[in-house]
Amino acid sequence: MSVAPPEPAEDHPTTEVREAHDAEHHEELAKDPSHEESKLDVGLDESFPTSDPASSTQPGHADPAPSSGYDEEAEKALEREKADSR
């Protein structure tokens, strides 16, 4: 009885191993630092082989930004004043 894995078949080649990506050398991340898939790629590569997930996968990252003090009613009033003064 053999416990070794079988040799890969010709029609099912093994997965190709790629180099790990770090933030300084990841092309997509250099083009767009907010690209979620690129951040995840780098985070997973940097944390491998630990079991901790990359920080970009943590809950709460999709929450809206805190208020900047925008007041919708005040903005509408300003727009009405502009329209009335024309």
Which of 55, 19, 60 is CA-nearest to residue 40? 55
pTM over 0.85: no
* Residue 78, amino acid: L
| Residue 80's pLDDT band (cuts 50, 70, 90) | very high
Length of the chain: 86
Residue 42 burial (10 A CB sphere; 0-12, 13-18, 19+): buried
pLDDT for 72 equals: 87
pLDDT, one tens digit per residue, over 19-78 is: 666 667 777 777 888 888 888 877 777 776 666 666 655 556 566 666 778 888 999 999
CA distance 85 to 72: 20
pLDDT for 81 equals: 92
pLDDT for 86 equals: 77
